[in-house]
Amino acid sequence: MKAASGMGRGAARSRESPRGAVIVIVVMMIGATHLAVMGSVASMADDAHAAALRVETARAFYAADGCVMACRRMIVGGLALPSAGDTVSFERATGTYLDVPPDDGEGELVIEGRSGTALRRVRVMLSY
């Protein structure tokens, strides 16, 4: 009669099997959490790299723009423009005069700003 009432050994074994399933589910949840954390850490590293590149790009542009403004002041003050190849160093960037027009006042001024791995080139047509 014990077998008919469901209180025998077969019933005890079926009660133990959910424990194994719970362990499997817990291990799967830990694995899924691990993957989610690793994915978010990797994407945050990419975001940090992109933000650093944006900052370097802005510094490179400001270096080139600063060199253009210096040339403007030289023209207004009647001073000679720098020679092609001259470099101006700023705190975290440099500006290099790549092409400088002749003293007659007509031509293109090309300046390259660099900061870290970023590079910005500015071209200005001069007529004075």
What value does the mean pLDDT take over residues 107-119? 95
Percent helix, strand, coil in the chain, to 5, is 55, 25, 20
Distance CA 101, CA 70 (A): 15
Of 100, 68, 73, 71, which is closest to residue 84 (Cα–Cα)? Answer: 100
Give the SS3 label for residue 19. helix
Q: Which domain holds residue 27?
A: 2-127
Q: Answer yes or no: are the C-beta atoms of 91 and 125 closer than 8 Å.
A: no
Structural domains in the chain (count): 1
Strand segments (E) across 12-117? 87-89, 94-99, 106-115
Distance CA 15, CA 17 (A): 6
The verdict on pTM exceeding 0.95 is no
**26-62 pLDDT tens trace:** 888 888 888 888 877 777 777 888 899 999 999 999 9
pLDDT computed for residue 10 by the predictor: 53
**78-91 pLDDT tens trace:** 899 999 999 999 99
